[in-house]
A and B are shown apart, each in its own frame.
Chain A
Amino acid sequence: MSLNRIKALLLHEIFITRHSFEVINDILFYPLFTVVVFGFMTLYLVGTTGKIIANEVLAGMIFWQVVNIAQYSVGVGCLWDVWSRNLTNMFISPINIKEYLFSFAISGTIKALIILILASILSIFVFQFNIFSMGLTNTFLIFINLVFFGFSFGVVMLGLIIRFGTKVAAFAWGFINVFQPFMAVIYPASILPQPFRGIAYLLAPTYVFEAMRKNLKGQSGATEFIYAAILNIIFLIGAIIFFRFMFNKSKQSGAFARLEG
Chain B
Amino acid sequence: MAVLQVKNLTKKFGSFTAVNNISFELKEGEILGLLGPNGAGKTTVIQMLLGITTPDGGNIYYFNKDFFSHPQFCLSRLNFTSAFNNLQGRTTVWENLVVFANLYQVENYIVKIKKLVTRFEMDDLINKRYFDLSTGQKTRANFIKALINDPKIILMDEPTASLDPDIADKTLTFIEELRKERPITILYTSHNMAEVTRICDRVIFLDRGEIVAQDTPLGLTKRIQVAQLRLTFNDNKDAVAQYVKKEGLNCRFDGEHVVYITTEEKILPKIIFDLSKVGIWMTDIEVKKPTLEHVFLQIARGEPYVFE
Does B13 make an interface contact (CB < 8 A)? yes
Does B102 make an interface contact (CB < 8 A)? yes
* Interface hits, B83-105 → A, CB 8 Å: 84-92, 95, 98-105
CB pair A88–B88 under 8 Å, yes or no, is no
CB pair B105–A4 under 8 Å, yes or no, is yes
Does B54 make an interface contact (CB < 8 A)? yes
Residue of B nearest to A23 (CB): B90
Chain A positions within 8 Å of B, measured between CB atoms, are 2, 4-5, 7-9, 11-12, 15-16, 18-20, 80-81, 83-86, 88-96, 248, 251-254, 256-257, 260
A159 to chain B, nearest CB (A): 16
CB pair A89–B52 under 8 Å, yes or no, is no
Q: How far is the CA of A95 from the CA of B76 in the complex (A)?
A: 9
6 A-B pairs within 8 Å (CB atoms) are namely A20-B90, A84-B130, A89-B100, A89-B145, A92-B52, A93-B103
CB pair A254–B47 under 8 Å, yes or no, is yes
Residue of B nearest to A249 (CB): B54
Query: How many residues on chain B are close to A (CB under 8 Å)?
Result: 40
- With contact pairs A94-B72, A94-B104 given, residues A81 and B88 touching in the complex (Cβ less than 8 Å): yes
Q: How far is the CA of A43 from the CA of B159 in the complex (A)?
A: 61
Does B173 make an interface contact (CB < 8 A)? no
The residues of B that contact A96 with a CB separation of less than 8 Å are: 71-72
B146 to chain A, nearest CB (A): 9
CB pair B72–A86 under 8 Å, yes or no, is no
CB pair B76–A88 under 8 Å, yes or no, is no
The residues of A that contact B51 with a CB separation of less than 8 Å are: 91-92, 251
Mask: chain B, 19-59; 1 = CB below 8 Å from A; 0 = not: 00000000000000000000000011001001111100000
CB pair B99–A19 under 8 Å, yes or no, is no
CB pair B76–A94 under 8 Å, yes or no, is yes
Contact of A16 (CB < 8 Å), options: B76, B91, B145: B91
The residues of A that contact B61 with a CB separation of less than 8 Å are: none
- With contact pairs A16-B91, A96-B72 given, residues A86 and B85 touching in the complex (Cβ less than 8 Å): yes
Q: How far is the CA of A15 from the CA of B82 in the complex (A)?
A: 23
Does B75 make an interface contact (CB < 8 A)? yes
Q: How far is the CA of A257 from the CA of B101 in the complex (A)?
A: 23
Q: How far is the CA of A92 from the CA of B53 in the complex (A)?
A: 11
CB pair A7–B102 under 8 Å, yes or no, is yes
The residues of A that contact B43 with a CB separation of less than 8 Å are: 257
Does B65 make an interface contact (CB < 8 A)? no
The residues of B that contact A86 with a CB separation of less than 8 Å are: 85-89
Q: How far is the CA of A93 from the CA of B71 in the complex (A)?
A: 10
The residues of B that contact A257 with a CB separation of less than 8 Å are: 43, 47, 52-53
CB pair B53–A11 under 8 Å, yes or no, is no
Q: How far is the CA of A11 from the CA of B88 in the complex (A)?
A: 12
Q: How far is the CA of A91 from the CA of B80 in the complex (A)?
A: 11
The residues of A that contact B79 with a CB separation of less than 8 Å are: 92
B292 to chain A, nearest CB (A): 27
Residue of A nearest to B49 (CB): A92
The residues of B that contact A94 with a CB separation of less than 8 Å are: 71-72, 75-76, 103-105
Does B129 make an interface contact (CB < 8 A)? yes
The residues of A that contact B101 with a CB separation of less than 8 Å are: 8
CB pair A5–B88 under 8 Å, yes or no, is no
CB pair B102–A85 under 8 Å, yes or no, is no
Residue of A nearest to B87 (CB): A86
Q: A-B pairs with the 6 shortest C-beta distances? A: A8-B102, A93-B103, A15-B91, A15-B95, A84-B89, A94-B72
CB pair B90–A88 under 8 Å, yes or no, is no
CB pair A11–B102 under 8 Å, yes or no, is yes
CB pair A91–B52 under 8 Å, yes or no, is yes
Residue of A nearest to B129 (CB): A19
Q: How far is the CA of A90 from the CA of B76 in the complex (A)?
A: 12
Q: How far is the CA of A11 from the CA of B101 in the complex (A)?
A: 11
Q: How far is the CA of A19 from the CA of B104 in the complex (A)?
A: 24
CB pair B90–A19 under 8 Å, yes or no, is yes
